């Protein structure tokens, strides 16, 4: 599992460690790791042109000491001193190794640019001269290596307000920062390389975490010798309408592919016909009234995909949410809940799976504000609504009160197509029915769904049904990687 921390958490750990080490030790460790990554990118160091963007703080010192090491290996290294002050010892060592102070004109033709302008404590939009210098660096051809976080990216949230460095690689010191795992910051960070400087024993509980294949492999339910379809989890799916029949087909398909022992589908005649045609395995109850009295026992429900938002749908949602089992609410179900929050007053667990627009309606917030601060709003929703929140998007996050937010590391932009969210509902719902908590079902469901999307797309467009079909392959891949 990859864990990440806020700027305050990192600074607290650094303070404890520095009190036990000779002065300057952490900076030298950081500089050595930074120089090694730069050298690897350059391939042959001797004769290459490296330009350092040096700010006032410790990141500037890291860059200068790394520049010193590269200069001693024969690189031409220039430093643009952009801050109101400069790390004096670092600058002296840099000059002694043959490094030189240069102007912005040196950016053109650089084989590598090292961004040491601002560190993890910075927030908000970059000020001059940093903003203009960042835009100039982004405009030239040389790849950029960012020190700790790209300048302009908030280390604690991933927010970007204005200009920010677009790094090929970010070399982060001691531990991952939250803003490197969450968009938009993650998009600016490029590949992230972690340099161990000895912080591990001093770090608190993480701010966010990202599951790896091995973690998912451990969490996934597996059938045993005495398993039967009931022990493997029975999922109820209340989805689809005469207008949106496909949502029911996709949600049921996602659930069956993710290992539910049985799927009980309930809905009106049109989606019933489609589900029966596509998935004869499903046990189907055609509803002539919005009731679940005759459905039979289930271990969890998926509520909402394509259900509609009229009175009939509201009555069915009320019946499902009056049950005593976990419920995953998606799509039209979220619209119903946003109009009638009293539906969420239940003792059994709830997992909601909104995109930013749906969460905006639930929180009476602005969609753009949610997109720019995904962690903040997912946490707020979990706290205010008393539910587990799976916020879909370029970075999918799973938030539950008093737990580290889980950030999903899998996925592909090809998943941005209609119906894939319905498949995700089915996958996560199946995991709920098999006994996982909302927190684990949401996290593992998002991981498998994203991985299935990658496998199905393979660099080309996909349809939602392709994702459902690829879920078993994703489960196999997780098991192979976790072995």
Least Cα distance to 178 among 401, 448, 399, 411 occurs for 399
On whether 121 is known to bind a ligand per the annotation, the reply is yes
On whether 225 is known to bind a ligand per the annotation, the reply is no
On whether 466 is known to bind a ligand per the annotation, the reply is no
At 112, give phi and psi (nearest 5°): -155, 140
On whether 62 is known to bind a ligand per the annotation, the reply is yes
| Distance between CA atoms of residues 346 and 381, nearest Å | 16
For the chain, the distance separating the N- and C-terminal CA atoms, rounded to the nearest angstrom, is 15
Decide if 69 contacts 37 (C-beta within 8 A). no
If DSSP codes are grouped into helix, strand and coil, which group holds residue 303?
A: strand
Q: What does R_g of the chain's alpha carbons equal in angstroms?
A: 26
On whether 113 is known to bind a ligand per the annotation, the reply is no
If DSSP codes are grouped into helix, strand and coil, which group holds residue 235?
A: strand
Residue 123 has a CB neighbour count (10 Å cut-off) of 14
On whether 170 is known to bind a ligand per the annotation, the reply is no
| Distance between CA atoms of residues 137 and 125, nearest Å | 17
On whether 365 is known to bind a ligand per the annotation, the reply is no
On whether 125 is known to bind a ligand per the annotation, the reply is yes
On whether 59 is known to bind a ligand per the annotation, the reply is yes
| H or E element that contains 5 | strand 2-5
On whether 130 is known to bind a ligand per the annotation, the reply is yes
On whether 421 is known to bind a ligand per the annotation, the reply is yes
Least Cα distance to 159 among 365, 352, 6 occurs for 6
User: How many Cα atoms within 13 Å fall on the side-chain side of residue 67?
Assistant: 37
On whether 394 is known to bind a ligand per the annotation, the reply is yes
On whether 422 is known to bind a ligand per the annotation, the reply is yes
Q: What is the biggest distance separating any 2 CA atoms in the chain, rounded to whole angstroms?
A: 84
Least Cα distance to 381 among 351, 348, 404 occurs for 351
| Distance between CA atoms of residues 275 and 409, nearest Å | 32
On whether 413 is known to bind a ligand per the annotation, the reply is no
On whether 60 is known to bind a ligand per the annotation, the reply is yes
On whether 123 is known to bind a ligand per the annotation, the reply is yes
In the chain, how many H helices and how many E strands?
Answer: 17, 19
On whether 148 is known to bind a ligand per the annotation, the reply is yes
If DSSP codes are grouped into helix, strand and coil, which group holds residue 250?
A: helix
Return the structure tokens found at 89.
Answer: 């010892």
At 100, give phi and psi (nearest 5°): -135, 155
On whether 392 is known to bind a ligand per the annotation, the reply is yes
On whether 119 is known to bind a ligand per the annotation, the reply is yes
On whether 158 is known to bind a ligand per the annotation, the reply is no
Which residues does the annotation place in the binding site? 58-62, 115, 119-125, 130, 148, 151, 247, 306, 355, 392-396, 421-422
Residues annotated in the binding site for K(+), as ranges? 59, 115, 151
Which residues are documented as binding site for (6S)-NADPHX? 58-62, 119-125, 130, 148, 247, 306, 355, 422
Binding residues for AMP: 392-396, 421
């Amino acid at each position: 599992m990859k864990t990440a921390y806020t700027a305050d958490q990192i600074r607290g750990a650094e303070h404890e460690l520095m009190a036990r080490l000779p002065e300057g030790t952490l900076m030298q460790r950081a500089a050595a790791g930074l120089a090694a990554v730069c050298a690897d990118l350059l391939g042959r160091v001797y004769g290459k042109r490296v330009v350092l963007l040096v700010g006032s703080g410790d990141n500037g010192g890291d860059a200068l000491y790394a520049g010193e090491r590269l200069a001693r290996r024969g690189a031409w290294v220039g430093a643009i001193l952009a801050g109101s002050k400069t790390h004096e010892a670092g600058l002296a060592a840099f000059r002694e190794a043959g490094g030189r102070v240069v102007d912005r004109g040196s950016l053109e033709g650089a084989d590598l640019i090292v961004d040491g302008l601002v560190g993890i404590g910075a927030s908000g939009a970059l000020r001059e001269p940093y903003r203009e210098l960042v835009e100039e660096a982004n405009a030239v051809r040389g790849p950029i290596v960012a020190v700790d976080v790209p300048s302009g990216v908030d280390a604690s949230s991933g927010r970007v307000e204005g200009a920010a460095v677009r790094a090929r690689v970010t070399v982060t010191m001691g531990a991952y920062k939250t803003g490197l795992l969450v968009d938009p910051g993650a998009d600016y960070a490029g590949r992230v390389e972690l340099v161990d400087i000895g912080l591990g024993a001093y770090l608190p509980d993480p701010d966010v975490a990202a599951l790896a294949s091995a973690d998912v492999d451990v969490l996934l339910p597996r059938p045993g010798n005495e398993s039967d379809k009931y022990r493997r989890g029975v999922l109820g799916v209340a989805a689809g309408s005469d207008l949106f029949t496909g949502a029911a087909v996709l949600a049921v398909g996602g659930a069956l592919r993710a290992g539910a022992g049985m799927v009980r589908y309930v809905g009106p005649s049109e989606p019933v016909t489609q589900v029966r045609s596509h998935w004869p395995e499903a046990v189907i109850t055609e509803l002539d009234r919005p009731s679940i009295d005759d459905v039979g026992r289930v271990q969890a429900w998926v509520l909402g995909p394509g259900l509609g938002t009229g009175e009939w749908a509201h009555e069915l949602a009320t019946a499902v949410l009056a049950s005593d089992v976990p419920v995953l609410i998606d799509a039209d179900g979220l619209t119903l809940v946003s109009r009638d929050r009293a539906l969420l007053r239940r003792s059994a667990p709830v997992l909601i799976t909104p995109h930013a627009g749906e969460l905006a309606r639930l929180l009476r917030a602005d969609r753009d504000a949610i997109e720019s601060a995904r962690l903040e709003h997912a946490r707020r929703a979990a706290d205010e609504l008393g539910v587990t929140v799976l916020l879909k998007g370029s970075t999918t996050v799973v938030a539950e009160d008093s737990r580290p937010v889980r950030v999903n590391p899998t996925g592909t932009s090809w998943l941005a197509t209609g119906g894939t969210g319905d498949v995700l509902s089915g996958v996560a719902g199946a995991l709920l029915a098999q006994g996982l908590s909302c927190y684990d079902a949401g996290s593992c469901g998002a991981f498998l769904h994203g991985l299935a999307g990658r496998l199905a797309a393979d660099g080309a467009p996909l349809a939602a049904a392709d994702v459902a079909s690829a879920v078993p392959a994703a489960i196999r891949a997780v098991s192979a990687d976790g072995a």
